[in-house]
A and B are shown apart, each in its own frame.
Chain A
Amino acid sequence: MKGLAGTGGLIRLILRRDRFLLPAWTLVAALIPINFAAATEELLPTAADRMQYAGTTGTNPTFLALYGPLYSNDLGGIIAQRAGFLPVVVGLISVLTVIRHTRTEEEAGRRELLGATVTGRGAGLAAALIVTMAASLVIAVLLAAGMAAQGLPLAGSLAFGLQLAAGGCVFAAVAGVAAQLSEGAGAARGVAVGVLGGAFVVRMAADVGGAGNGLSWLGWLSPFGWAQRMRPYGGERWWTLALIAALVAALVAAAAALSARRDVGAGIMPPKLGPAGAPPRLSGPFGLGWRLQSRPLYGWVAGFAALGVVYGGVAGGVKDMVADNPELEEIFTALGGQSGITDAFFASAMSILGLIAAAYAVSATLRLRTEEAGQRAEPLLATATARLRWAASHLAFSLLGPAAALAVAGAAAGLAHGLNVGDVGRELPRVLGAALAQLPAVWLVAAIALALFGLAPRFAGAAWAAVAAFVVISMFGAALDLNQWIMNLSPFTHIPKLPGHALTAAPFGWLVALTAVLSVAGLAGFRRRDVSAH
């Protein structure tokens, strides 16, 4: 076929550009469930343990919604359920990969450069789809081999692997279609991720009520539902594979047809026009800051709300899970008994939310540098806008954005847990308080980014290294047995373990003071230095 000439060359180009990324995510996606096997076997050694697990945790509505139904009580079935979120992850990575190698290339004009050589019109799309789907199949093979090697039935292991591959292939094809629709890579990504989210929500709605509920037919409307209903280790239903293959084939055909019909660089949907003039609220740096940063903030807040609901929903189940396991129970009882278990869970959940909020705060703060390096700050600063006012228009998001996100997450978690235990009045303020208690640490991380921006703009990206270091300290510090002075480097180490612990004001005081010092230093540095893209 002439339209596919040069596909081989483009495949090599993609493999070369993704030579680290592609093997990395393929391996990680396969290794996570393989690791579940050993951990689950240790946690639930006997058939009786597994039966009990299946009756409690495995059919808890939060688990059902997040991971899908439990099709069998044996080891394989339990692992397959726990890995139920992975097809979504593989699907998401596939979407990002396909868009990156199709529409992003076109938008950047690099596709045109290649299009002038001997490459067919469909070659770019074909190469991106082939590489991404092949990676999904590699995951399937690795996972099947890894599970079978641990003594699990081969048929079930294969179905388990194909579940993940189904998510990857279907959403690679969805992204292939989305990439034809609009001129902007951002919009194409949005369409494909939106379809993915929709498919996940439909699957959640189908499964949340448990086996045989009135809505379980909804599962047949979602590719994730089809993949789930392949029932690995629970009497495999191979014919669902045919459904998935047919969907992939139809989507690929649609993408190819759309691609053959349009111009390089153009989309099927006409580009959206904006207003001919600015609305009144777009009149100054703060209006612009809101315009540039509000949409990402909505996304983060929505994500935080979802995480809050999940944490709040699972919190009650943590107690059950521990009750199943006398050893764990002993550990948690030492922490303060029944309520101590839930409190400890919330404390660590809120600390994770704090770290995620810190990542948001850094991205909001470094927007200053992005704008400067992209030469978009220059024309603004050439108007009657003082440097500090411009900086403040973005820093408002570093300050208030994490507060909004954490407040929403804390409220959602407190509400969900309060409804579960029938005491919203008590749980909501406790959990909300625990979430907001992370703020001083989050602000300190933002202040580190601001100080770098003001004093060493070329190294502003190092703020991400600080975030990564604090994540390692918080998540793995204890497991790695790090020295206490290293642990103390992270501001999150100093936040009291709320709820359930005494609230001490001292750490908040000095965290805020340090934040103020770093912020003043950063702003003073920015006021004195050259504004430059380099």
Chain B
Amino acid sequence: MTMKTPPVEVSGLVKNFGRTRALDGLDLTVEPGEVHGFLGPNGSGKSTTIRILLGLLRADAGTARLLGGDPWHDATELHRRIAYVPGDVTLWPNLSGGEVIDLLGRMRGGTNAVRKAELLDRFELDPRKKGRAYSKGNRQKVGLVAALASDAELLLLDEPTSGLDPLMEEVFQECVREARGEGRTVLLSSHILSEVEALCDRVTIIRKGAAVESGTLDELRHLTRTSIHAELASPPDGLPLPGAHDVRIDGTTITFEVDTPRLDDALRQLTEIGVRSLTSRPPTLEELFLRHYKDELAEEVAR
């Protein structure tokens, strides 16, 4: 495999569970060496996608390629090169955390004892406790240490930090950055937007089993609106503002959001009146995400 083959290449993926359509023509490409954010509300199909990539589920239509191979037919060979953390790590009640970490590592083809010890230390995890004695967050740490201690070239992380406290979230983010530094590729499914914003090079937003947006954060921002807050020389009553939304005027101050491609026009209108001060803020990922949510809500209300 050359470094140019995308580690994850999915197009037109369809998966039905009985009458429910979980994936409806999903496209997703993860480039080598990037941390790719996979965002979507609960039940939008993130876990289903990852399970198809793991060869646990069989797609009904479309193609999926994992590290250049077929995730269903070549599952066993491909799995030597990947590591997976589920959103809800379940452990055997009578096995200690350390045993599970070693077991999963060996079944993948070997563990790195030094890295394991280092990760246990950083995540402050006691590996001697039995599975039943761990809290939700600590079970999650067992899964994370098992995956991060491997030499896998692709990490598939499905909401891996659920139940972790903010300090451990920080440790997790460091570990992911280090993994990227080592040239590894990460697919990070999440709905913690700050996490995605802090870590991801590119993002795919999925809704109802299909990708609705995909690109770098900058590209996505460009597709959306910018917030403008300005103090003008005189009240801007009757000012034509093409592409502006949520306009609020209070005396000489104006606050609005504008479609980013039309930012230029809007600013020109403001300078006509005279600008005393101006702050512009690119949209946060949260706003991007909520916009898609809101569309969905609006659709549902309309129905």
Q: Judge if A380 is at the interface, Cβ distance under 8 Å.
A: yes
Decide: A278 and B103 in contact? CB cutoff 8 A.
yes
30 A–B contacts, CB within 8 A, in A order? A183-B132, A183-B133, A272-B130, A273-B128, A274-B95, A274-B97, A274-B128, A274-B129, A275-B98, A276-B128, A277-B99, A277-B101, A278-B99, A278-B101, A278-B102, A282-B99, A288-B103, A291-B94, A375-B86, A378-B56, A379-B84, A379-B89, A381-B55, A382-B82, A382-B84, A384-B79, A386-B75, A387-B75, A530-B58, A534-B17
Q: Judge if B229 is at the interface, Cβ distance under 8 Å.
A: no
Q: Give the interface size bracket for B toward A.
A: 35 or more
Q: Judge if B70 is at the interface, Cβ distance under 8 Å.
A: no
Interface residues of B in 87-116 (CB under 8 A from A): 88-104, 106-109
Decide: A283 and B103 in contact? CB cutoff 8 A.
yes
Decide: A287 and B57 in contact? CB cutoff 8 A.
no
Interface residues of B in 54-94 (CB under 8 A from A): 54-58, 75-77, 79-80, 82, 84, 86, 88-94
When distances are taken between beta carbons in the complex, the residues of chain A under 8 Å from B93 are 184, 186
Decide: A384 and B77 in contact? CB cutoff 8 A.
yes
Contact of B96 among A184, A274, A530 (CB under 8 A): A274
Distance from A8 Cβ to chain B, minimum over Cβ atoms (Å) = 32
Of all A-B residue pairs in the complex, the 9 with the closest CB atoms, nearest first, are A274-B96, A278-B102, A383-B107, A273-B128, A382-B84, A276-B98, A278-B99, A531-B56, A383-B108
Q: Judge if A285 is at the interface, Cβ distance under 8 Å.
A: yes
Q: Judge if B143 is at the interface, Cβ distance under 8 Å.
A: yes
Q: Judge if B127 is at the interface, Cβ distance under 8 Å.
A: yes
Interface residues of A (CB under 8 A from B): 107, 183-184, 186, 271-279, 282-285, 287-288, 291-292, 374-376, 378-387, 528-532, 534
Decide: B92 and A376 in contact? CB cutoff 8 A.
yes
Instruction: Name A's interface SS.
Output: loop
Contact of B130 among A274, A284, A382, A387 (CB under 8 A): A274
When distances are taken between beta carbons in the complex, the residues of chain A under 8 Å from B56 are 378, 381-382, 530-532
Given contacts A275-B99, A378-B56, A530-B58, contact A384 B92 (CB under 8 A): no
With the chains together, A384 CA to B98 CA distance in Å?
Answer: 19
Known: A274-B97, A274-B130, A287-B103. 20 other contacts (CB 8 A): A272-B130, A274-B128, A275-B99, A275-B128, A278-B100, A282-B99, A283-B102, A283-B107, A288-B92, A375-B86, A378-B54, A378-B56, A379-B86, A381-B75, A382-B79, A384-B108, A387-B75, A530-B56, A531-B57, A532-B57
With the chains together, A24 CA to B57 CA distance in Å?
Answer: 43
When distances are taken between beta carbons in the complex, the residues of chain A under 8 Å from B103 are 278, 282-284, 287-288
With the chains together, A376 CA to B106 CA distance in Å?
Answer: 16
Instruction: Name B's interface SS.
Output: mixed
When distances are taken between beta carbons in the complex, the residues of chain B under 8 Å from A284 are 103, 106-107
Decide: A292 and B106 in contact? CB cutoff 8 A.
no
Distance from B14 Cβ to chain A, minimum over Cβ atoms (Å) = 14
When distances are taken between beta carbons in the complex, the residues of chain B under 8 Å from A531 are 51, 56-57
With the chains together, A380 CA to B76 CA distance in Å?
Answer: 11
Interface residues of B (CB under 8 A from A): 17, 51, 54-58, 75-77, 79-80, 82, 84, 86, 88-104, 106-109, 127-130, 132-133, 143, 146, 156
Distance from A343 Cβ to chain B, minimum over Cβ atoms (Å) = 44
Distance from B189 Cβ to chain A, minimum over Cβ atoms (Å) = 14
Contact of B54 among A287, A381, A528 (CB under 8 A): A381
Distance from A454 Cβ to chain B, minimum over Cβ atoms (Å) = 14
When distances are taken between beta carbons in the complex, the residues of chain A under 8 Å from B92 are 288, 292, 376
Decide: B130 and A271 in contact? CB cutoff 8 A.
yes
For B106, the closest partner residue in chain A by CB is: A283
When distances are taken between beta carbons in the complex, the residues of chain A under 8 Å from B130 are 271-274
Decide: B107 and A285 in contact? CB cutoff 8 A.
yes
Decide: B143 and A379 in contact? CB cutoff 8 A.
yes
With the chains together, A186 CA to B92 CA distance in Å?
Answer: 14
Contact of B107 among A186, A375, A380 (CB under 8 A): A380
Given contacts A277-B127, A282-B102, A384-B77, contact A378 B96 (CB under 8 A): no
Distance from A518 Cβ to chain B, minimum over Cβ atoms (Å) = 23
Distance from B113 Cβ to chain A, minimum over Cβ atoms (Å) = 8
Given contacts A378-B56, A528-B58, contact A386 B76 (CB under 8 A): yes
Distance from B148 Cβ to chain A, minimum over Cβ atoms (Å) = 14
Decide: B133 and A291 in contact? CB cutoff 8 A.
no
Decide: A375 and B90 in contact? CB cutoff 8 A.
yes
When distances are taken between beta carbons in the complex, the residues of chain B under 8 Å from A378 are 51, 54, 56, 86
When distances are taken between beta carbons in the complex, the residues of chain A under 8 Å from B108 are 383-384
When distances are taken between beta carbons in the complex, the residues of chain A under 8 Å from B94 are 274, 291
Decide: B79 and A271 in contact? CB cutoff 8 A.
no
With the chains together, A485 CA to B134 CA distance in Å?
Answer: 53
With the chains together, A379 CA to B86 CA distance in Å?
Answer: 8
Interface centre among A276, A379, A385 (most CB of B within 10 A): A379
With the chains together, A186 CA to B130 CA distance in Å?
Answer: 13
With the chains together, A273 CA to B94 CA distance in Å?
Answer: 10
